[in-house]
Chains A and B, each alone.
Chain A
Amino acid sequence: MALIEIKNLSISLKTPNGLVPICKNLDFSVNEGEIVGLIGTSGAGKTLICKAIAGIHSRDLEISFDRYRFDNIDITGKDLPQRRKFLSERVAIMLQNGTRSLDPLMTIREQMTENLPNSARPRKLWKRFFWKKREIDILLHKVGFKDTKAILNAYPGELSDVQCQKVNIAMALGRKPRLLIADDPVSTMTALSQLQILRLIDSLNQNNHVSVIYVSNDLGQIARLMDRINMIYYGEIVEQGPTEQILKNPHHPFTKIMLDAIPDMGAGSRRKSFFKAPGGDHPDFQHPPVGCPLGSRCPCADRECNIKPPQTRVKNGFYCCHFPLNT
């Protein structure tokens, strides 16, 4: 059953020269209890899609959609403040920089107390005394802190990035959300700390049945964590499918490029050998190309690719390419 269903999401940026479209006609859905990945290069519009879903986009963006259903409630007709209020009770978000997404002037204890919803208050009268304090302690123990007192009295600047991300997860847990949006929370950590955070997200998904949208630009870090992967390039979903299919036989050349960019550490890999990566950058959003946006970076491009944009096909998987691989 679909938790989120968005039809024809369009995002465009207001500039002095008029509207610049970034995403056009995006269909996006997340099933209940599922981890969905949004994978793409930097500047492809992954973060904008996330912010549009959560309703926290900045004012110079214009967002429209035909249909938006959350948990079988239609919120298409609601205006932005109403939608934000509705979503704020159901969606939690984690940002890339854990330290910056916490208030630097408040201790962790103050922030977590403020963050707890009143609906979590216990019914029994004798449990109501200091319930917030107890609740916060339980939450911090759940994410793996042993000495909670030291964490609670600290300011975010005193904690490391990993600890801040853990506090973020604990705060998200306290709200009892239906959906967690993780916007690339682990990209600058060591593998060890990455694993701690990823395990927490996985256990949140398994034990608390929270659906997760995971945004990343590196397939290698998190490939097997996700159930379904959306590959995003130049504001479009170029390929969609279950993880196994995307990793084993990708249809779109862009997916192949992303997979090739992950270095293989097997015994056969030679030291100091060059990586497989095409140079260049995606085209500017202000001057969109006529044909396929992948253009010259594509290994199997032909004349047709430069003339007309590819159509989305749903035969044998969801992809959008003139000359798909592995079909």
Chain B
Amino acid sequence: MAYTITPKFLQVKNLSVFFSTGRYFFLQKKRYALSDISFTLKQGETLAICGDAGSGKSTLLQILNDSNAASYEGEILLYEKNIRDYDRRDRVSIIRMMYPDPDTALNPHIRVYKILEMPLSMNTGLSPREIKKRISVTAEYVGLREEHLNCYLHMLTDIQKLRLSLARALVLRPQALLVDSSVEKLDAVLRMDFYNMFLDLQKRYRMSLIICLNDLCAIKHLADKVLILDHGKAEEFGRVEPMIYSPRSDLTRRIVQSYNHEYRCVHSAAPAVARPLGVITKNSD
């Protein structure tokens, strides 16, 4: 399906996600997990979502992926059309999610090849030969070997499972990829390996990524825009460099400052974040 490239790829307007609590309907209250969040993304731009545990990063991604049962107010527009008006098959080939916990997200009863084949045979009209070719290409891209395709889930290591989870997201060739904080838990070397893969996706296929990231260096390298969440509220949304060099909100300033702390000075005694504008003051967090 061909889409014209519009500047407005994804628009989120005043999104609030809430859960109803209380046993009876007259006692029910709304508890907001996210309140009043709005941002826009162009085609091919990358958004990094930064925040602590419990700030609503995963909820936001799940709402975008339509895999969360919570009800929401506000609008999510994809190509200037409400995401609820899409047919599921169309939407799935535009936005895909890399699930953070492959053990529970993927089916352990079927082989890896079948796991990768299922979204293709359900959502596209490809012939079996094309499907086979696409699966082998995708598996090679993420770093799975031919013999892994015949394995069951429990025969793979944790890292291979994550690669499989990424392959399953990429096999439909989506326009946007949602990455939950799964990559954060890996060790430094493997994490950089994954980041390289994301960079390649951005450059070669102009794919939009929406990633949960807490590492400021990685944000600076990977992302175009940053959304900083704190307890479900958007603290700051904007381009990366202005956010780092002249932060507007108090929380962002403190995050950047703590990134300059001496514990993190590895390469030299100088602070990790260079500060051209001299906005950040020392010893004041």
Contact = CB atoms under 8 A, between A and B. Distances in A.
A12 to B, nearest CB: 19
B264 A281 contact: no
A204 to B, nearest CB: 15
A108 B184 CA distance: 28
B196 A275 contact: yes
Contacts of A193: 52
Contacts of B214: 188-191
A219 B188 contact: yes
A219 B222 CA distance: 20
Interface in A259-276: 259, 261-267, 269, 271-276
B12 interface: no
A42 B266 contact: no
Nearest to B276: A267
A76 interface: no
Nearest to B262: A224
B264 A223 contact: yes
A221 interface: yes
A188 B258 contact: no
A42 B162 CA distance: 13
B230 to A, nearest CB: 9
Interface residues of A, number: 48
Given A263-B218, A265-B274, A272-B221, A191 B259 contact: yes
B94 to A, nearest CB: 23
A272 B199 contact: yes
A194 interface: yes
A191 B221 CA distance: 17
B266 A247 contact: yes
B118 interface: no
B263 A221 contact: yes
Nearest to B267: A264
A217 B188 contact: yes
Given A189-B53, A217-B186, A262-B188, 6 more contacts: A217-B188, A225-B263, A261-B191, A263-B218, A272-B203, A277-B192
13 contacts: A160-B53, A161-B54, A191-B216, A195-B285, A198-B263, A220-B266, A221-B264, A223-B263, A263-B192, A263-B217, A275-B196, A275-B199, A281-B157
